[in-house]
Structure 1
Amino acid sequence: MIEEDILLEFGARKLHFKKGEPVFSQGDLPKYYYQIISGEIKMNNYNEEGKEFIQGLFSAGNCFGEPPLFLDRPYPAGAVATSDTSLYALPKETFLKLLHSHPNTNVAMTVNLAQRLYYKAIMASEISSQDAEHRIITLIDYFKNVIHENEEAQYKVTLTRQQIADLTGLRVETVIRAIKSLEKQGELSINERKIYR
């Protein structure tokens, strides 16, 4: 997202998190801009029954958690490393100075936030009104076309069935049945338990 040399110029620190370690918790006040060097972060929260809902998955080069940083509001979800992860952390005040002094980075940040809002709007509609198969295809297509910008004939889905369930508000059993149905319809293919679109 932000070029590494710019982050380092502004004094970003490298932090390391083990798999399962939280970066921040739901309700914490944001203090840093975070950008992943390697590994993966998920932002999630839980409903009253304890069911996890994944708000987003972020990998190398992605930033996460910045909307509350701009708004100075508590995080609506927590962030946890899903693998050993290294990231840059830049204090809020310094991050804002960086954006003021680098207009192109500021525009790129705005585009990134707009993409996330667009995704949230699509998924809110899908979750409230569409069947499981439609939700899953919409999610996979979003990851294929927007997140990974993959234009190849076949896209290997990197999400687990559990992650698909947590991102779409479905049960994992429903996801498994829907994926098998989508395979029969020719919308997906499965090879050695890996999903391709």
Structure 2
Amino acid sequence: MIDEKYLRCHGAVEKKFTAGSCIFSHGTIQNHYYQIIDGIVKLSNTGYDAKDMTFQLLRNREHISLYSVFVEMPSLHHAVALTDCRILVMQKDNFNQMIGRNKVLMLMVLKELSSDFYYQPLKSCCYITDSAENKIEHLFHSLKYDETDQELLSFVIKMSLQQISYIANLSIKTVRSAIENLEDQGLIKIVKGKIFF
């Protein structure tokens, strides 16, 4: 989102998170701006049944919960490194001063916040369906959504069945069956163990 060099010039520091490590957790007050350099981060909530429900995946150049920089309220979700990640972390005060001095950047941040709210229903809709195929198809759409090439079967899903199972909150057996069904429908293609969507 924001140029990496520009962030570093204004005090952002690169931090490394190993796969599975917590970046921040539900209930904490956020005092930092986070932007991913490399890796995948998942945002999740813990449901009433104590199950972890993933609702968004974030990747390179995406921010993590931008809105939290502007509110003094506890986080409503967890942010966890799904893969090994490199993330730029910037103090909230530095971030606010930086955008306060740059009107073009401020407008870009407002557009980004607006875009987040616009796409939120689309990004979360798979978590209100019981269909394993719909959940996995939506997951694949969310991974592919900002790719230039949106042609069918043009995108390689770089995730293991275990990772898909974890994110979609499904058993591996259910994931295998759903993937077979999606392939039968022509929505995905499996070549040498790789899933093309």
Question: TM-score scaled by structure 2?
Answer: 0.82
1:56, 1:167 within 8 Å by CA — same for their partners in 2?
no
| 1:96 maps onto 2:96 in alignment | yes
Q: How does 1:1-197 map to 2 (within 5 A)?
A: 1-129=1-129, 131-146=131-146, 148-152=147-151, 154-197=154-197
Whole-Å separation in 1 of the counterparts to 2:157 and 2:88: 27
1:130 shift after superposition: 6.7
Corresponding letter in the other structure for 1:180: E
Closer, same or farther in 2 for the Cα pair 1:19/1:169, shift >3 Å?
Answer: closer
The whole-number CA distance in structure 1 between the counterparts of 2:79 and 2:56 is: 9
Give 3-state SS (helix, strand or coil) of 2:90's partner.
strand
Q: Distance in 2 between matches of 1:79 and 1:129?
A: 23
SS in 2 for 1:64: coil
- Considering only aligned residues, what root-mean-square deviation do their CA atoms show, in Å? 2.6
Secondary structure at the aligned position of 1:11 is classed as: coil
Q: Compared with structure 1, are the counterparts of its residues 5 and 125 closer, same or farther at alpha carbon in structure 2 (3 Å cutoff)?
A: closer
- Indicate the larger mover: 137-146 or 159-168: 159-168
Range 152-161 or range 3-12, more displaced: 152-161
- What SS does the aligned partner of 2:145 have? helix
Structure 1 gaps, min length 5: none
Secondary structure of the corresponding residue to residue 2 of structure 2: coil
Q: Which moved more, 1:71-80 or 1:114-123?
A: 114-123
**For the Cα contact (< 8 Å) 1:23–1:80, is it kept in 2?**
yes
C-alpha distance in structure 1 between counterparts of 2:32 and 2:126, whole Å: 32
Q: Secondary structure at the match of 2:42?
A: strand
Aligned in 2, Cα 1:18/1:134: closer, same or farther, shift over 3 Å?
closer
CA contact (8 A) 2:126 2:139 kept: no
| SS of alignment partner, residue 150 of structure 1 | coil
Quote the sequence identity (%).
Answer: 27
User: Is the 1:33–1:69 contact (alpha carbons within 8 Å) kept by the matching residues of 2?
Assistant: yes
Contact 1:16–1:85 (Cα < 8 Å) also in 2: yes
* 1:20 alignment partner, SS class: coil
Cα pair distance change 1:15/1:123, threshold 3 Å? closer
Per the normalisation by structure 1, the TM-score is 0.82
Distance change in 2, residues 1:142/1:124 (3 Å): closer
Structure 2 letter corresponding to 1:41: V
What is the deviation of 1:33? Answer: 0.2
Q: 1:47 to 1:2 in 2, by over 3 A?
A: same
Would you say how many aligned residue pairs link Structure 1 and Structure 2? 196
> Which secondary structure state, in structure 1, belongs to the residue aligned with residue 175 of structure 2?
helix
Q: Does the 8 A contact of 1:33 with 1:92 survive in 2? A: yes
Letter aligned with residue 149 of structure 2: N
Alpha-carbon separation, structure 2, partners of 1:124 and 1:143: 13
**Alpha carbons of structure 1 residues 112 and 84: separation in structure 2 relative to 1, 3 Å:** same
